[in-house]
Amino acid sequence: MTRTLVYTDEPMAAIGLASVLAAEDGFLLAGVLDNPAEIAHVAEMRKPDLLLLDMAGGELVAQIEGVRRRTPECKVVCWTRSLPFEMAIRLVEMGVQGILPKTVTGHLLCGFLRRIAAGEQYIDERFFSSAPAHSVKLTGREQQILALVSLGMKNKEMASALSISEGTLKVYVSRLLQKTGLRDRHQLALYRLKNPDSQETTPERNGRMAGQFSAH
């Protein structure tokens, strides 16, 4: 049984999530919280396998940091309608195993939760698809990763060099493909050679990022 602790400050969402989890095989509800100040403490006391956080009430960064510090074995999943790219990246780097949209059905939500509980990571693609089509501006981290891709380094090697997880690295690479409109890592390497500064360019858009599960 996957012990799941839920946080939401919306009463109807609390009822809905509890009902969905009760109806699905393999889940045991470890509690439903509505006070963010209690999240890390209750997670430490009840030791759930999963913590499902409704992000509607705020970013909850401090609460997630507390859970990761006090209950590192608990897999944290964020449930949200929208999320800025920078915040999504921050959450992944903090060790969040899932960022799921509120638009999925209850059955699909539980399917994602099962896979995350089994050790996979899932970041939905819609949280990384807001880059403007007319220009490309890469962050310092994105420029680092683009340079490593151009050297032909493997994911594990790049992740080790940058002291990040392979799951986080895959998110960055997917983001680079989405921002540049390129199809694969080979095209990214060529793009880096043609644009060594990797700033303010307008490549022809012929690709998009795809959300995916990855081993974590």
For 41-50, the pLDDT digits (tens) are: 999 999 999 9
Residue 199 carries which DSSP code? E
> In this structure, is residue 202 part of a structural domain?
yes
pLDDT at 203: 41
Task: Clarify whether residues 123 and 164 are in a common domain.
Answer: no
Q: Are residues 162 and 176 in the same domain?
A: yes
Are residue 113 and residue 160 in the same domain, yes or no? no
Q: Tell me, what's the pLDDT at 191?
A: 79
216 located within any domain: no
3-state secondary structure of 113: helix
Same-domain check for residues 180 and 74: no
Split into its structural domains, the chain has a count of 2
Give domain status of residue 185, yes or no.
Answer: yes
Which one-letter DSSP state was computed for residue 132?
Answer: -
pLDDT in tens, 57-78: 678 999 999 999 999 999 999 9
Query: pTM for this one?
Result: 0.68
Q: What is the mean pLDDT of residues 29-36?
A: 96
Which are the contacts of 126, defined by CB distance < 8 A and separation ≥ 6? 101, 211
- Give the structural domain span for 85: 2-127
Q: What is the pLDDT of residue 180?
A: 85
- pLDDT band, very low/low/confident/very high, at 206 (cuts 50, 70, 90): very low
Give the list of residues 6+ apart from residue 12 with CB closer than 8 angstroms, or none: none
